[in-house]
Chain A
């Protein structure tokens, strides 16, 4: 049975069951990937995946279930499980969305060219990256990670109110991790890039960025403990916002997981900071015309000139506050509904990177964060390892490693001194420019 056939079957069974309302998420995907080591394809993988998730409401009580097995018996079991679960759950006063006309916006989330990309092309592209990396430096000791892949998929969303949307997507990625050594110092430099077609990936950019990231840090030493101004590179700033993105979700605030609860309209960040959930960015992976629950997407200003303007809502969290959902619901076939930014966008300012580097006499440029376990979205606490460079009067003095940055996210976004004019080039739904932040505690 195909996904759409299985969804047809479940739809008719759901109508027969007499439940209040329901929705179905179906998905099918294919992928091809390979990893090379010492110029040989060490691992390769192809896949054909599929699954269907059911959410239904009986007497206003929700029940969830899913299956990857598309036999009549499995689909019946899936439905029976979801119905059983309504015997356990508490009531949830929630209305699934009606069918609406979707916004007219070209997403570019699928390029038919991807279907023609084969194993040999991915292999040759990977080898080109390796050759370019080795031409960059003789410090490469080993290349433990090198590979490329592609995936395509279709997502189908239906509900009892007549919603019947689908989305076709596809992307390619390639990356390299080089182990560099000089004397006793060893550093990994990694970079991967993605896009909708192979020509969007630049082998030279992938190779040189990975090598620069590793070689620049060879010979690194800690700096003295103390208070520093730091410059978070745009990809690192994106990483930071990603770790704390849930504080802007209404469901987090409602469940005690965000200190922003009750602070709408307050100044929570520096006046230059504008944070947006933007589903209408051409060729970014978070762009979408509808969210994971079938609500039509829209652009939501979350922070405007430092003032907290809006939480992001899915159906459940919006219903709880009796407001409209913002189109930020997420749902895969095997999970319950959650919340997410579509694309998390911090608007660039007009300062170039060199201007940021000379904005303080002494600053630490952060090129790498190590793990996120010491960062808590609940408390805002940050305690995280970092690597980068010490700058004095805009000039590199030394590479730095084995340091820990400490503070609180809510203090950091207030202490942003400058925002650059550019995002990183990565194929990512999180786009934050370089940020200069003052008063950061550093242990070294």
Chain B
């Protein structure tokens, strides 16, 4: 933490060097993790990330710098170096001394147990329970890898508008990955729940059930066949199935893509871009959710942002600069992995809202298709909307009935072309936690959806 007086000096230096806006982001994060593999503790690690980021805005042009040295000499030097690259001339101006006013906000978490106080040792029972549960599922379980991670971040933000914010963010995440093996074939499946909560989150999990679910998923895929690759109707499972919307539609809806004119949704506000059954939301305010934030990384309050309402594009996801350039309101979505990144518009908890179709009706409506029950990861080119996603656990659908399990399937298409083809939306909305990587680093998000039917996607198989 730097003193308020030093914050005034840094901001004053930036303003004297003719920046229109100056912001300081100070972070101290303590994280700790225990990993378990081969039925024993593999590592116990912890660390301290500490640094200060200084951002100067010239109009909507951003000049950013960071350092781990919090001395006055270092921070003033950093600020001058940042400005040196942007000054149109070498004149300085006399800047007023900024008076800070603390901004309070409604916290989206109230942690009960500080992981620092509980200690790493308390995680051992959880790890051993998961290992035992997964291995008891079958003699074909070849490997179980488990980790329990927690982090506590203290954040301070000051800016030249007089804002002063302090936030404390505690997150915990439990991961279990199980590999099954038979006749030289190996398959892995994993479960990775996380929350913006204290150590009580670990205690709330049914660890045995989680590990068993991962084990059973890997075992089911051991006996799976291959699907014939072609265009077909696809049912996307609830929960992590939402990763497709996140990647193929969510990223192109961030003002970071819109302002670069690198999105198929540029200029489409108010237009019908999806089937009328589709309502999509990005919400930063869900209590204790892994992707929630009490305040964004510019000190702005988050909100529940309706992106698509009944198929019509209603909002983008914005930060300070993006909102200004695209001429929309700020949605409290400025995020960054750490002080080492300037904030940009990023998703928080993003999902397609529940509808009223049943999975049974979806399956009955398909003669020849795929039920992608669990999705793996994927990638997207935001500028063209082209995406590619792996199916972690899939099943054939033949003549309106669920068939054999299939593996090695992937889905390929363009996000903006798939949205109008979502013809059925289930009731079973579920959110799952993940990490999202983009220009401001890797941030915790949730993705989600109810079970959906898409009338046609290209499925890769054999």
Contact = CB atoms under 8 A, between A and B. Distances in A.
Contacts of B408: 374, 381, 383, 406
A389 B191 CA distance: 39
A119 B47 contact: no
Given A222-B458, A381-B407, A81 B376 contact: no
A69 interface: yes
Interface in A53-93: 53, 62-70, 74, 77-78, 81, 84-85, 87-90
B458 A404 contact: yes
A309 to B, nearest CB: 21
A17 interface: no
A48 B69 contact: yes
A403 to B, nearest CB: 8
Interface string A164-191: 0000000000000101000000111000
Contacts of B142: 256
Contact of A404 (B185, B386, B460): B460
A42 B61 contact: yes
Given A44-B86, A64-B45, A119-B85, A188 B383 contact: yes
B379 A373 contact: yes
Interface string A125-164: 0000000000000000010110000000000000000000
A125 B172 CA distance: 44
Given A47-B67, A381-B407, A85 B461 contact: no
A123 B274 CA distance: 40
Contacts of A41: 61, 63, 85-86
A50 B229 contact: no
A380 B188 CA distance: 12
A45 B120 contact: no
A186 B230 CA distance: 23
A338 B459 CA distance: 35
A303 interface: no
A18 interface: no
B308 to A, nearest CB: 22
A323 to B, nearest CB: 19
B90 interface: no
12 contacts: A44-B62, A48-B67, A53-B47, A64-B46, A65-B46, A81-B47, A88-B41, A90-B40, A259-B186, A336-B43, A370-B388, A373-B377
Interface string B61-82: 1111111110000100010011
Interface residues of B, number: 82
Given A64-B43, A374-B460, 19 more contacts: A48-B68, A48-B69, A48-B74, A64-B46, A66-B45, A69-B50, A88-B41, A89-B44, A144-B257, A186-B383, A255-B145, A257-B179, A334-B49, A372-B379, A374-B376, A384-B410, A401-B386, A406-B408, A406-B460
Interface in B373-390: 376-381, 383-384, 386-390
B121 to A, nearest CB: 6
B327 to A, nearest CB: 17
Contact of B462 (A65, A78, A441, A444): A441
B44 A402 contact: no
A406 B229 contact: yes
Interface of A: 32, 34, 37, 40-51, 53, 62-70, 74, 77-78, 81, 84-85, 87-90, 119, 142, 144-145, 177, 179, 186-188, 222, 225, 255-257, 259, 334-336, 370-376, 378-379, 381, 383-385, 401-407, 441-444
Given A65-B46, A255-B38, A406 B389 contact: no
Instruction: Say whether chain B's binding surface is mostly helix, strand, loop, or mixed.
Output: strand
Top 4 closest A-B pairs, CB basis? Answer: A404-B460, A443-B229, A371-B379, A256-B143
B44 A64 contact: yes
Contact of B377 (A46, A371, A385): A371
B48 A68 contact: yes
A378 B143 CA distance: 11
Interface of B: 28, 32, 34, 37-38, 40-51, 60-69, 74, 78, 81-82, 84-86, 120-121, 124, 142-143, 145, 179, 181, 184-188, 226, 228-230, 257, 260-262, 340, 342, 376-381, 383-384, 386-391, 407-410, 412-413, 458-462
B179 A385 contact: no
B120 A371 contact: no
Counting chain B CB atoms within 10 Å of each CB, which of A87, A402, A403 scores highest? A402
Given A43-B342, A188-B384, A404-B460, A379 B48 contact: no
Given A48-B68, A48-B69, A373-B377, A63 B44 contact: yes
A370 B45 contact: no
Counting chain B CB atoms within 10 Å of each CB, which of A43, A222, A335, A404 scores highest? A404
A223 to B, nearest CB: 12
A89 to B, nearest CB: 5
A383 B410 contact: yes
Contact of B62 (A42, A74, A335, A383): A42
Contacts of A381: 407-408
A402 B458 contact: yes
A268 B142 CA distance: 23
Contacts of A51: 68
A89 B65 contact: no
B68 A225 contact: no
Contact of B179 (A64, A74, A142, A256): A256
